[in-house]
Structure 1
Amino acid sequence: MADIPLTLAIFDYDHVRDMSTGRVKPEGIDLTVINHDVEEIFHRMMFGQEFDVSEISMGMSTSRVSQGDAPFVLLPIFPSRVFRLSSIYVRADGPIKTPADLKGKRIGVPEWGQTAGIYTRGWMVHQAGVPLKDVEWFQSGINDPGRQEAAKLDLPEGVNLTVVTDRSLTQMMFDGDLDAALSARAPRAFLDKDPRMVRLFPDYRKAEQAYFEETGIFPIMHTVAMRRDVFEKNRWAAMNIMTAFEEAKRRSRDRILNVTASQIGVPWLNHDAEQVNRSLFGDDWWPYGIEGSRITLEAFLQYGYEQGTLHKKMKPEDLFPEEVQHHFKY
């Protein structure tokens, strides 16, 4: 039987790169890999289903799954995971100096359904003790006005979210009309070192490590989707793709740990991976599959339901088809 041709749209990650180059090939599949920025990939997959397999936002995709009308199935492959206490930006001269100060303030988000914001609001509620209804929420682009919400929301009672179309969140902060912004993408003004904007957690690494040690949550930003019609015709392909992702990740880990030559140009990367990552996360510091990420998945689904991005309560097994819920091991 000839290999079936499939397309995969994904960002250029080191832990996926061997699939892009063809060094790792999913069994039975002739894979064409297309690299784009993640925002373009998400838009084209969510609204046009242009690719057979695609990286996709956890926030967007789980919202669609919860509504029962998703034109795709999800695979428990998590190409992007990022701790998000680094994504809280405040005015340098503003009233927010500690997490408790977020209560009663005006906070902006690029989209309520953005994955990073779901995790950060979950932290606000469950770790910082700031209820969603005790914040005045605003939605606009972080750098440019007019960004639109991609997810269909079912906001909880008492939550006030105002859509702003004429100013960006950054401009609102500088005008004194916003106290903070939660954004996965760093604001342009912050990257340009504008002194008017700072992080709530300057030493975010320390805060994020403490968060992980307290909760066991390693935030998953993106997962992988397969078009439903492709999956229904070739159910076996889902696990074969997952196996290829695992092999590409293993090869990336070997490059990171290589002490013979610096395959990745970051000083002491192998030491940090060996000493820090393994001590915190274990041998597989970037797990795929449900079990290795159950704590994170359960927390994210709880946050999504509490915040109105999910339309019903869900458990991790509700996200993924049976074919990929258990991975073969020797």
Structure 2
Amino acid sequence: MSKLELSLAISDYDHTREVGTERVPVEGIEVNMLDYGVEEIFYRFTLHRDFDVSEMSMAKFVAQVAGDRPDILGLPIFPSRVFRLSNIYINTDSGIEKPEDLRGKRIGTPEWAQTASVYTRGWLTDHVGIPLQEVDWRQAGVNQPGRVEKVTLNLPDGVSLTPEPTRALGEMLASGDLDAAFSAHAPNVYLDKHPKVRRLFEDYQSAEEAYYRETKVFPIMHVIAVRKEILDKNPWVAGNLLTAFMTARDRSVERLLEITASRVPLPWSTHFTQRQQELLGADYFPYGIEPNRVTLEAFLRWSFEQGITQRHLAPEDLFPESLQGEFKI
């Protein structure tokens, strides 16, 4: 019996790179692995469904599942997870010294439906206590003008979001036309060490660790999505892909923990990995629904409250029924 041929678009990660290779084959599937940058993958799959299986922005994924393009389902495979207090950049003349100072400020975002910004706005409302309505929101590309929203929004009453199609967040931040920006991609003005631009949290790791201890939210940035027509015809594909991705992830963690030889070019990688396990648990980069329920439920609530989803989804709405449990021996 011939294997099912599927295209899989995903950026290059150590913990997914072996999927579909001789080291980690996918049972019954011939994988055509396509490696692009995440911006290109998201653009092509979100708007055009160019691939059978694709990495996808979590926010755009849930917006489409809850909206007018529910022709995809997710697999509880999360290739990118990043805490997002590191993504708050400020102008040093803005008067912002602490989180509470963001109230009433002009804050930029690359897209309202950027996943990173959903988490940061969730922190702003829940943790800092600043309603979305008490910020002057601006939308623009990080370093280039012309970036636009890719999903339909349903903004809450009283929220002001102004597109800036001819400008970029970085230059607006440096010039003082923005007080702050929430952006997963560091603005070039920050990378170039502009004297007027810095992070709100210079020691963001300590702030993010404290946030995790309090909330148990480990932000999920990206998810693997599959065209629903493929799963309708071949429901076994979901489980086989999940198994392969879990195997590849486990092999990646084993490399990080190996102390006999340095499998990654990072001194003390074993120490750093063990430290994360102490904070996050032995399975510190979990796939599946139950190990991620706290994060998924928080994200889905924020997505609804922020007007990204048209209805309040539950985690079970995102994934095939066959993956909403697991077998035990």
TM-score (norm. length: structure 2) = 0.98
Alignment-derived partner of residue 262 in structure 2: 262
| Matched residue, 2:232 | 232
> Mind listing any 5+ residue stretches in structure 2 that lack a counterpart?
none
The answer as to 2:246 corresponding to 1:251 is no
Partner amino acid, structure 1, of 2:134: D
**Paired position in structure 1 for 2:19:** 19
Alignment partners' CA distance in 1, 2:39 and 2:323: 26
Unaligned runs of 5+ in 1: none
Provide the residue aligned with 1:302 in structure 2: 301
Partner residue in 2 for 1:84? 84
Q: Report what 2:281 is aligned to.
A: 282
CA-to-partner distance for each residue in 1:85-110, whole Å, 9 max, x for gaps?
A: 00000012221110000001110000
Aligned-pair Cα RMSD in Å: 1.0
1:250-288 C-alpha deviation (Å, 9 max, x unpaired)? 1001100001100001010111111x1111111100000
Q: Find the aligned partners of 2:185 and 2:205 in 1 and give their Cα distance.
A: 17
Q: Equivalent residue of 1:63, what SS?
A: helix
Equivalent pair of 2:238/2:320 in contact (CA under 8 Å): no
Q: Would the aligned equivalents of 1:108 and 1:182 in 2 still touch at CA under 8 Å?
A: yes
The answer on whether the counterparts of 2:91 and 2:198 sit within 8 Å (CA) in structure 1 is yes
Matches of residues 45-124 of structure 1 in structure 2 within 5 Å? 45-124=45-124
Following the alignment from structure 2 to structure 1, what is the Cα–Cα distance between the partners of residues 207 and 301? 22
Tell me how many residue pairs correspond in the alignment.
329
Q: Is the 8 A contact 1:85 1:204 kept in 2?
A: yes
* Alignment correspondent of 1:28: 28
1:184-224, Cα deviation, whole Å (9 max, x unpaired): 00001111111211000000000000000000000000000
Shift of 1:307: 0.3
Letter in 1 for 2:252: S
Q: Residue 83 of structure 1 contacts residue 219 of structure 1 at CA under 8 Å; is this kept in 2?
A: yes
State the distance in 1 between where 2:169 and 2:46 align.
25
Distance of 1:177 and 1:42 partners within structure 2? 29
Number of the residue aligned with 1:213:
213
Question: Partner of 1:86: helix, strand, or coil?
Answer: helix
CA distance in 1 between counterparts of 2:184 and 2:22 reads 31
Distance 2:17 2:243 in 1: 14
Which position in structure 1 is the counterpart of 2:139?
Answer: 139
Per-residue deviation, 1:47:
1.5
Question: Which letter does structure 1 place at the counterpart of 2:308?
Answer: T
Describe the shift of the 1:256–1:329 C-alpha distance in structure 2 as closer, same or farther (beyond 3 A).
farther
3-state DSSP of counterpart to 1:143: coil
Q: Is the 8 A contact 1:140 1:169 kept in 2?
A: yes
**Does the CA contact (< 8 Å) of 2:174 and 2:194 recur in 1?**
no
TM-superposed deviation, 1:142: 1.1
SS in 2 for 1:118: helix
Higher mean displacement: 144-153 or 65-74: 65-74
Deviation at 1:20, TM superposition (A): 5.3
Structure 1 pair 26–327 and aligned structure 2 pair: CA distance change class (3 A): farther
SS in 1 for 2:245: helix
User: Percent same amino acid among aligned pairs?
Assistant: 50
Bigger mean CA deviation after superposition, 29-38 or 208-217: 29-38
C-alpha distance in structure 1 between counterparts of 2:174 and 2:246, whole Å: 45
Name the CA shift for 1:22/1:51 in 2 (closer, same or farther; >3 Å): farther
Deviation sequence 1:13-51 (CA, Å, 0-9, x none): 000111154310111111111111111111111122111
Q: Contact (CA 8 Å) 1:278, 1:285: kept in 2 or not? A: yes
- Distance verdict in 2 for CA 1:329–1:189, change over 3 Å: farther
Cα distance in 1 for residues equivalent to 2:22 and 2:231:
22
Q: Distance in 1 between matches of 2:94 and 2:323?
A: 48
Code of the aligned partner of 2:269: L
- Relative to 1, partners in 2 of residues 1:199 and 1:265: Cα closer, same or farther, differing over 3 Å? same
Partner Cα separation in structure 1 for residue 107 and residue 90 of structure 2: 9
| CA shift for structure 1 position 68 | 5.0
Q: Distance in 2 between matches of 1:8 and 1:292?
A: 25
8 Å CA contact 1:289, 1:327 repeated in 2:
no
